Amino acid sequence: MIATMFTSYPRTLTAVAALLALLTLAYGGAMDAVYPSLLTVFEWLETTWFGVIGKTWGAAFAFVEAVHLLGLALLGGCVLAGDGRLLGVVLTDVPMQTVVERTHRVFVFGLSICLATGIFMACGVATKIYYLPVYWFKMLALSAGMLFHFQVRRPLLSHDIQSLNPVVVKMVAVASMLVWFMVAATGRWIGFSG
């Protein structure tokens, strides 16, 4: 039976396993063992070009912060339009498959902007965020969001959505909105911490 389940839902099970591994690492004591050795990595990040630019030119850092927000707006717009359609709230007269498919491309673009600018910002304040619990929450939420989007939501919705159980489709939409809201909210809270 397990073999049948794995062949039917390989990506979903891989995503769940990866999430469980992440949570175990974060809360199961393994993080406590790894955490001190990560400090050298974060100290090194501040010595990279991104780190030096971010620390030296406040205007460059602030500009990248703004671009990060623009990427977030794009990403959030796609999530709300796509998941809103799955919930039957927006674009109800456009086929679900069309909205989900077409917003995915823009979503990837928005996510790429967020990741690129996020790495730059992290390098600039690496030794600060290392000590912030909310930064690690954000990384967990981001990992969960990306795993969920690419390993669960997208493979599931690439099938004919009309043939899927409507409750499952709505649950996927709600989960997607919640996880990306969590990513954005924890990201915002980094600015208020430390």
Partner 1 sequence: MNELIHNLAIWLDDTEWSRMLHESYYMYNWVESTHVLTLMVSLGMLFLIDLRMLGLALPDVPASRIAERLNLPMLVGFVVMFITGILLFYAVPVRTSQSLWFRLKMVLLVVCAVNAFLFHKRMNESVATWDIEPRAPSRIRLGAMLSLGFWSIIVVCGRFIAYDWFDCDTSPNTLIDIVSGCVDGQTRF
Query: Which residues lie closer than 8 Å to 90 by C-beta, 6 or more apart?
Result: 80, 81, 84
Closest approach of Cβ 78 to partner 1, in Å?
Answer: 7
In the complex with partner 1, the residue whose CB is nearer, 18 or 108, is: 108
Q: Cα separation of 176 and 33, whole Å?
A: 32
DSSP string over 42-79 = HHHHHHSHHHHHHHH-HHHHHHHHHHHHHHHHHHHHHH
Rounded alpha-carbon distances, angstroms, from residue 140 to 40, 47, 131, 187: 20, 25, 15, 11
Binding site for partner 1 (CB under 8 A): 58-59, 62-63, 65-66, 69-70, 72-81, 84, 90-94, 98-99, 102-103, 105-106, 181, 184-185, 188-189, 192
In the complex with partner 1, the residue whose CB is nearer, 19 or 84, is: 84
In the complex with partner 1, the residue whose CB is nearer, 18 or 90, is: 90
Closest approach of Cβ 176 to partner 1, in Å?
Answer: 13
**Among residues 181, 179, 173, 182, which one has the least CA distance to residue 153?**
173
Closest approach of Cβ 123 to partner 1, in Å?
Answer: 18
Closest approach of Cβ 36 to partner 1, in Å?
Answer: 30
In the complex with partner 1, the residue whose CB is nearer, 9 or 189, is: 189
